[in-house]
Chain A
Amino acid sequence: MSTLVIAEHDNSSLKVATLNAVAAAQAMGAGIDILVAGASCGGAAEQAAKVAGVGKVLVADNAAYEHQLAENISLLIAELGAAYDNIVAPATTNCKNTMPRVAALLDVAQISEIISVESADTFKRPIYAGNVIATVQSSDAKKVITVRTTAFDAAPADGGSASVEAVSAVHDAGISSFVSQEVAVSDRPELTSAKIVISGGRGMQNGENFKLLDGIADKLGAAIGASRAAVDAGFVPNDYQVGQTGKIVAPDLYIAVGISGAIQHLAGMKDSKVIVAINKDEDAPIFQVADYGLVADLFVALPELEAKL
C-alpha cells in the first residue's frame, strides 16, 4: 500500500490539516509520501520532512503552483499519483477545489470527507449534513480521498526525517490566473484548529455586537466563528461560517451565542467535546445538543461571562 498525501500549506509553512490527512493515511497503511506543490515553498517542504512516519517529500516548486490553481495542480497530482494506491488530501477549500479534478483525470470516484478508515477499500463518511453516516466501499484500484480533518488526530509534526525530492514536472494549463486575495489577519487561533471556539448567530443583531465576543475570546484564547445567518446578514465575513457548507470544527469547547441551532449549523460543530449554548429562547434546538445551556439575554450574559473569566 502506498499513499500520496497532498499538503495544505502557504508556501512558507505547513498547515495542521496536512497532519490530519497524514493520520488518515496511516490508518490505510504504511508507505506515505507528501507532495508540497507551490512556489518558493521550501519552508513548507522542510516542515513536511519532519512529520513522523513520512518516507519522502516531493516538492514541486514553480510559479504555476503558487496560488494553488486547481487547473494546474490537478494535472501535477494526476501525473505523480500514477505511482500510488491512494491519493489523500485534507478537505480544505484548496483541496476540495482540486481533488475532484484529479479523480476525473484518473477516471475514478472521489470519496469525500471520510471520517474513518474501515479497511483498505471501505470508509465512513457523513451525508445529509451529518444526519446519516454512510459506509462506502470503493472498487477503484486507485483511490482519491479527502479527509474530514476533525475526525483524525493530527500526526506528530516532529520526529520524522523524510528525504526531500524535487519534482521537475511543470503543468501550466494556461486557462486561469490569480488576481487577488483578501485574507483576514487575526492574532486569534485558526477556527478549524482552535481548542476553544465562540460563535455568534443572528441573535447578535449586528456586526458591532460581535465585539462582545472579542474580550471572551481573548481571555480564553478562542477563535471566533458564526452561523450562516450571521454571515448572510453581513455581520462578519464568510470565513467565520461554521456549518454544513462552511467550516467543520471540533474544539474542546464550543460556545454558541444567539444561535438557534439549525441542522446545517449543527453539522459543523456537533463533534465538539463540550458545547455551551447561550440563547434567550429556551426552546431553541441548540439546547438539544448543548452540555450546558444558559437561557439568558446574551447582552447581559456576555459582559458578565467576560468579567468572571
Chain B
Amino acid sequence: MKVLVAVKRVVDYNVKVRAKADGSNVDLNNVKMAINPFCEIAVEEAVRLKEAGTATEVIAVSVGDKSCQEQIRTALALGADRGIQVETDGPVEPLVVAKLLKAVVDKEQPQLVILGKQSIDGDNNQTGQMLGALAKMPQGTFASEISVDGDKLNVTREVDGGLQTVSLSLPAIVTTDLRLNEPRYASLPNIMKAKKKQLDVYSPADLGVAVTSHLTQVKVEPPAERKAGIKVADVAQLVDKLKNEAKVI
C-alpha cells in the first residue's frame, strides 16, 4: 500500500524561542530549523512499513515556502521514495494545511497517512484530525504502536488514563506520539541519493484550494517569568520552608 507522510519545517527543538521586543512576532532570525520531531517519527514509521513489505511506496509531503524542501529531502534521505511540496507564502493555518493535504490524498490515494501529532512551534495538535474529517477517514491519534491487519489498522493510543487500542478501516490517518519508534539517522550515501529523488511542486491553485485565514496573531509576549528561588542546605530546611514559609504541606 501507498503511505503518505506529512512533514513540517520548524525551529529546532533545542532552541529557546523568544518574542521580539515589539511583540510583533517571535524572533526567528538565524535560528536553526529542522524537521518537526513528531514528523520525523512519522517518516520512520512509514519507512519501517516499507521495509517490512507492508508499504509499497512512501511519499513525503510538506506545505510551506521553498525552504521546506530541505525537510522533504531529509525525509527522502531517511527512506521516503519521493516528495511533494505544496508551495505557500510562509505559514498557513492547520485547517488550510488539512485542505491542501486532502487534495494531495485525492490525487495520490494513499491507504495510510501518517502525521506528527503536533508541531513544536504552534503546538496546535489539529492537522491530522482535520484531515481525517475532510477525507472522511478514521484516525488513530497519539499512536504508540500500529499494525496492519488485512484491511484494518490497529492503533494503540496514548490517552490520559493509559493506553487505548482502536481498530480502523483503511484508508486511515495516524498521528504519532513519542514512543512509536526511535528515528534513525540518515547515512551520507542516503543523503546524496535523496538529492536525486523526485520532488514535485504544486501551488494551492493547482490543487484547487483557497488559502484563507481565520485567525490573526495580534501580538506575542514572553510568559510571566518565574524567578529562581533559594537553595536549601538540607532536607530539614526544605521541610521547614515548605511548612512555615510556603505553607504548602
Contact = CB atoms under 8 A, between A and B. Distances in A.
B19 interface: yes
A74 B122 CA distance: 23
A103 interface: yes
Given A245-B117, A294-B231, A179 B132 contact: no
Given A238-B179, A263-B16, A291 B216 contact: no
A304 B21 CA distance: 46
A128 B159 contact: no
Nearest to B139: A70
A238 B177 CA distance: 10
A100 B18 contact: no
Contacts of A50: none
Contacts of B218: 122, 135-137
Contacts of A112: 123-126
A12 interface: no
A93 B126 contact: no
Contacts of A282: 231
Interface stretch (A80-88, A160-168, A201-209, A270-278): A270-278
Interface in A133-176: 133-140, 173-176
Nearest to B17: A128
Contacts of A228: 178
Given A137-B218, A179-B166, A290-B228, A131 B93 contact: no
A253 B235 contact: no
A79 interface: no
A143 to B, nearest CB: 10
Given A97-B141, A176-B168, A239-B162, A135 B217 contact: yes
B221 A253 contact: no
B220 A135 contact: yes
A152 B103 CA distance: 38
Contact of B11 (A107, A128, A304): A128
A276 B242 contact: yes
B202 interface: no
A220 interface: yes
A233 to B, nearest CB: 11
A38 to B, nearest CB: 15
A104 B133 contact: yes
Contacts of B136: 173, 175
Nearest to B243: A309
A130 interface: yes
B34 interface: no
B246 interface: yes
B55 to A, nearest CB: 21
Nearest to A302: B235
B137 to A, nearest CB: 7
A47 interface: no
Nearest to B230: A292
Interface string B160-185: 11111111110010000111000000
Given A176-B169, A238-B158, A264 B214 contact: no
B229 A110 contact: no
A113 B123 contact: yes
Contacts of A140: 214
Interface of B: 11, 13, 16-19, 26, 38, 93-95, 98, 117-118, 120-134, 136-139, 141-142, 144, 154, 157-169, 172, 177-179, 213-223, 226, 228-232, 234-236, 238-239, 241-242, 246, 248-249
13 contacts: A92-B160, A93-B158, A98-B129, A104-B133, A128-B120, A135-B220, A139-B216, A176-B168, A181-B165, A238-B177, A244-B123, A295-B231, A309-B239
Given A104-B98, A253-B242, 19 more contacts: A71-B138, A93-B160, A100-B94, A109-B93, A110-B130, A131-B16, A132-B17, A133-B222, A174-B169, A176-B139, A179-B165, A180-B164, A180-B165, A220-B249, A239-B158, A253-B248, A270-B223, A275-B226, A292-B242
